[in-house]
Amino acid sequence: MRWLLNKLLNLVMLGVDDLNFQKLSTVQSDKNPNPTTLASAATIAPTTKLTFVTGTVTIATVTPPVTGYHELTLCFTDGAPGVFLTSGNLKTAYQPVQNRPITLHYDPPSAKYWVAAVV
């Protein structure tokens, strides 16, 4: 019991106070929600670690689902997905490729998503 209390206290002290942070964890189980699908838009709001994105509209802003550092993976299903613009909270412009997942890393101090290197 003491171990659990210390663990919870550490999470609170680290700023992990968001109730849905587990939905974004890299460790998932069958109890976690399935990946969601969103239509591309100037602003999108993913709620799970993996999100499928349909459509061709450019994306400038991603609404962070939690306040601390996290990673989101977007997979574009359209043959000609819209680009990432830097006019919102995306640090780097990027042209997504159909069915190739791209990971975004959120940096709370800058309030920007950094696009992972694509090789």
Q: Which residues of the chain have pLDDT under 50?
A: 13-17
pLDDT value of position 57: 97
Which residue type sits at 100? Answer: R
pLDDT value of position 117: 80
Q: Which of 33, 14, 11, 13 has its CA nearest to residue 24?
A: 33
pLDDT value of position 13: 46
Q: Which of 89, 113, 88, 91 has its CA nearest to residue 103?
A: 113
For each of the domains in the chain, give its residue range(s) and CATH number, in order of start.
Answer: 20-115 (2.60.120)
The torsion region of residue 9 among left (phi > 0), alpha (psi -120 to 50) and beta comes to alpha
Q: pLDDT tens, 32-52?
A: 788 999 999 999 999 989 999
User: 65 near 49, Cβ under 8 Å?
Assistant: no
The pTM score is 0.79
pLDDT value of position 77: 97
Dist CA 46 CA 65 (whole Å): 7
Which residue type sits at 86? Answer: T
Secondary structure (3-state) at 109: coil
